[in-house]
A and B are shown apart, each in its own frame.
Chain A
Amino acid sequence: MEIIVCIKRVPETADADIVIDRTGRDIEKGGLVFDINEWDNYAVEEAILLKEKYGGSVTVISMGPEEVNETLRRALAMGADQAIRLTDPAFEGSDGYTIARVLSQAIKPLSYDLILTGVQTEDDGYGQVGPTLAEILGIRHAAVVNQIEGIESGRTRVHRELEGGLEEILDLELPAVLTIQTGINEPRYVSIMGIRKVAKKEIKVLGLRELAMKPEEAGEPGSLTVVEMVSFPPVGEGAQILEGTMDEISDKVVTILKEKGGVA
């Protein structure tokens, strides 16, 4: 079982105060902490579980500058066997389609049975790259997978998460791209020792030329959609923020609960 996992290093913004940068098309990333995209962490774990069950190897691929090595090494420490980093100034501004296109150029020469990606990323949230990659490679896909039942005679049985707690079971021909939903497994803990052990492992680096792509096929020129500007979402009426000491705030909540009912 040869498995490829596409992962992304993303900024953690849940609790961060984000600032729009000078281009007006992105945010300042300077002060932010980066980590593996949450969905991709589950995808890496799932790949390693499959390797443990069926044998074979796991290759992780990511796009981005040298700092991305950190994310790739994290995946190696989890149990991946090889890591590839795709980097080129020309990739800047790539949309979901073009990201899939770049990934496909790196994947085409490899042998694989399964390609896993996260359902989406925490930053751009396209939810598009995995299935697009499958279409470019001419293979099958299933999006929003929350269970892989098993793999047998060149096919896999997977569950797709639908709305309202419903799931559907599909039977797919391999090779295939599966986009992995959070909660599918319990990603293993990565220790500092574990990362140290893989510190010297080689990470293959490929650029535009190695991927046999022309500059006009990557980045904004190669993309079908272009970010024009970003802004903060308009705040509707918004919440009335309760202020004061802990006690005062608590008293206010009690008053609200008494007024709005619900409490016997």
Chain B
Amino acid sequence: MADILVLVEHRRGEIRDITFEMLMKGKTLSEKTGKPLTALLLGNDVGEMAEGLKDLANRVVLIEDPKLENFNSEIYQRVLGNVIEQEKPFLLFIGHTAFGMDLAPTLATQMKAPLATDCTDVMVDDDQIRAIRQTYGGKLNVEVRLKPAPCSMVTVRPASVSVEDYSLAGEITRVTSPLTEEIASKRFLEYVEAAAGEVDITQANILVSVGRGIKDPENIPMVQELAKSLGATLSCSRPVVDKKWLPKDRQVGTSGKTVKPTVYIAIGISGAFQHIAGMKGSGTIIAINRDPKAPIFNVAHYGIVGDLLKIVPALKGKISEAFA
């Protein structure tokens, strides 16, 4: 009772990283507050998954039902509403992911629970929950206070918690699925895989990546030239794909590809967290941006502040000379 609850996110038989990140955060808060940490696992035939989570929480609550085979926010909401009534958790963590964004707001509204979304940190002092979230594309941190309530909810930004090893030796509690009739108002039909593109940017040794700052599709060949002079592959951030200036298979980030090249050159990319999550593992990151406060400079090793339309041609000239 009054536990810290973490909703396990999994897809096609795999537990997603956000789950371990939330458990890590939950464990820290559990130690501080003395409230037990519980992992909440909903699915079909996921007993093995529950075994794997035992060490990471004081308890794993397992609810299995064929209707929980694939994620469906309405079915999840029905089950979770029930669990919250029974368990009366103090705080429920859900990932700020495609899964959580479809589920958390409606669940919170149903349970009259205060909800802080897309949080990078959560603090609890004397049962007062506060969260840190970012606004204005990562340019500002906002500290939010959740008004006291029987149950509060927070969605956690992926990759905002670093995970360490720990062991809690928890136990598994099976709870019978409360689902009776079919829910037909929202139906999961199938997954659609991304079509394979002409290049695989995940295999590139050097990526020259272009973002919104390029302003005009006519400027893309200039960046392409720079990439060519380095023997690099051209990639991009989301806005360039949204505008159909480059195909989707070139996109780096959460909804595109995760890359780890030796060198990553970010040109006109401000550094939304979805992009950073997809490239922060790169060996050396060089960023070119007009705005010295762009979040990309927080992950870049080297930065150039200025007009990319001037810098890119100058750079291309020198590189062609040096690596001719």
B147 at the A interface (CB under 8 A)? yes
Which of B21-29, B45-53, B166-174, B312-320 lies at the binding interface?
B312-320
Chain A residue nearest to B133 (CB atoms) is A125
Secondary structure call for the A interface = mixed
Nearest CB in chain B: distance from A43 CB, A: 13
Query: Please, how many residues of chain A have a CB less than 8 angstroms from a CB on the other chain?
Result: 86
A111 at the B interface (CB under 8 A)? no
Which of A56-64, A65-73, A76-84, A248-256 lies at the binding interface?
A248-256
Contact flag A225-B116 (CB < 8 Å), given A135-B105, A163-B97, A262-B283: yes
A residues with a Cβ closer than 8 A to B are 11, 13-18, 20, 27, 96-97, 100, 119, 122-132, 134-136, 140-144, 157, 159-173, 179, 182-183, 186, 223-233, 235-236, 238-242, 246-247, 249-254, 256-258, 260-264
A selection of 20 A-B contacts at a CB cut-off of 8 Å is A18-B140, A141-B106, A157-B189, A159-B192, A168-B192, A170-B186, A172-B186, A179-B101, A224-B147, A227-B145, A230-B140, A233-B141, A239-B300, A239-B302, A240-B301, A246-B311, A246-B314, A252-B302, A261-B263, A263-B206
Contact between chains at A15 and B291 (CB < 8 Å): yes
With most chain B CB atoms within 10 A of its CB, the pick from A170, A171, A224 is A224
Q: Which residues of A contact B11 (CB under 8 A)?
A: 162
Q: Which residues of A contact B310 (CB under 8 A)?
A: 246
Contact between chains at B238 and A125 (CB < 8 Å): no
Contact between chains at B185 and A140 (CB < 8 Å): yes
Chain B residue nearest to A229 (CB atoms) is B143
Nearest CB in chain A: distance from B159 CB, A: 11
Contact between chains at B291 and A257 (CB < 8 Å): no
Q: Which residues of B contact A241 (CB under 8 A)?
A: 292, 297, 302-305
Nearest CB in chain A: distance from B112 CB, A: 8
Q: Which residues of A contact B114 (CB under 8 A)?
A: 97, 224-225
A132 to B106, alpha carbons, bound, how many Å? 5
Contact between chains at B139 and A18 (CB < 8 Å): yes
Contact between chains at A135 and B140 (CB < 8 Å): no
Contact between chains at B315 and A169 (CB < 8 Å): no
Q: Which residues of B contact A264 (CB under 8 A)?
A: 231, 323
Nearest CB in chain A: distance from B141 CB, A: 5
Which of B58-66, B85-93, B239-247 lies at the binding interface?
B239-247
Which of B33-41, B216-224, B253-261 lies at the binding interface?
B253-261
Contact flag A239-B136 (CB < 8 Å), given A97-B109, A225-B146: no
Chain A residue nearest to B254 (CB atoms) is A163
B194 at the A interface (CB under 8 A)? yes
Q: Which residues of B contact A169 (CB under 8 A)?
A: 188-192
B residues with a Cβ closer than 8 A to A are 11, 70-71, 73-74, 96-99, 101-102, 104-106, 108-110, 112-118, 130, 133-147, 149, 184-194, 205-206, 212, 230-231, 238-239, 241-244, 248, 251, 254-258, 261-263, 270, 283-287, 290-293, 295, 297-305, 310-311, 314-315, 317-319, 322-323
A246 to B305, alpha carbons, bound, how many Å? 11
Nearest CB in chain A: distance from B288 CB, A: 9
Q: Of A163, A172, A252, A257, which is within 8 A of B98 by CB? A: A163
Nearest CB in chain B: distance from A174 CB, A: 10
Q: Which residues of A contact B146 (CB under 8 A)?
A: 224-225
Q: Which residues of A contact B117 (CB under 8 A)?
A: 96, 125-128
- Known pairs A96-B117, A172-B187, A173-B186 / 14 extra A-B pairs, C-beta < 8 Å: A15-B290, A122-B137, A127-B117, A144-B101, A144-B102, A161-B98, A165-B193, A166-B192, A168-B71, A171-B187, A186-B244, A233-B298, A253-B319, A263-B263
Q: Which residues of B contact A263 (CB under 8 A)?
A: 206, 230-231, 263, 323
Contact between chains at B239 and A247 (CB < 8 Å): no
Q: Which residues of B contact A232 (CB under 8 A)?
A: 139-141, 293
Contact between chains at A14 and B212 (CB < 8 Å): yes
Chain A residue nearest to B274 (CB atoms) is A163
Contact between chains at A165 and B194 (CB < 8 Å): yes
